[in-house]
Amino acid sequence: MALEYSTDITRRGILRAFAATAITAAPVMSNAFAISRGAGDIRRFSASSGRTGESIDTIYWIEGKYIKEALKEINHFMRDWRTDSVINIDSRAIDIMAAAHNLLDSSEPYQMLSGYRTPQTNALLRSRSRGVAKNSLHMKGQAADLRLRDRSVSQMSRAAASVSAGGVGRYSRSNFVHMDSGPIRMWGR
């Protein structure tokens, strides 16, 4: 059952979507694998990068198991494009992004603005903007800055926040949402 799209995502609609799709940031939940094992559940990550010109559309999780090769592809896709450095992206962060995307019922891939950042890249960005955290979770492979052409920052942030599994930052002026697998919190406008 697909979530019907409207310009206002309601709490009840989000709860229906969770019940209908059974896709959540499962690794955060203690009984997640028991809930989804054998349920035919699949998780997909779909994104493009304007920085590298690359796109990815991969199923990375099937019936309670991560697909190692798909995770490697995601790690490479989300690399620090300035240095070509790759790190293992936290699978919980990928789950959060996939769950939020699923709730939004969008066929558009995410546009990834920033995934993994080396400490050097983070320092460079921090010198240019006070909005970059000194100990950013991007440096641990736990965060991404994303946008969707067919959804607003407000819609994306509400969907990500409803996953209740990490941090969500709204950057309306720059038209993107930060999602991470750190502590649950929200910020921005």
Walk along the chain (189 residues) in steps of 10 and give the mean pLDDT of each run: 40 42 39 37 95 96 95 98 97 96 94 96 90 91 97 96 95 96 94
Tokens standing for 64? 């309670």
Structural domains of the chain, ranges and CATH numbers in brackets: 21-188 (3.30.1380.10)
118: left (phi over 0), alpha (psi -120 to 50) or beta: beta
Dihedral sign from CA coordinates of 139, 148, 49, 127: negative
Q: What is the pLDDT of residue 5?
A: 36
Q: What is the pLDDT of residue 60?
A: 97
SS3 126: helix
- Spatial distance between the Cα atoms of 145 and 94, rounded to a whole number of angstroms: 12
Q: How many CB atoms lie within 10 A of CB 179?
A: 30
Q: What is the pLDDT of residue 10?
A: 44
Q: What is the pLDDT of residue 24?
A: 40
Helix and strand numbers, DSSP H then E, in the chain = 6, 8
Q: Is the pTM of this model over 0.85?
A: no
Residue 188 dihedral angles phi and psi, to the nearest 5°:
95, 180
Q: What is the pLDDT of residue 132?
A: 87
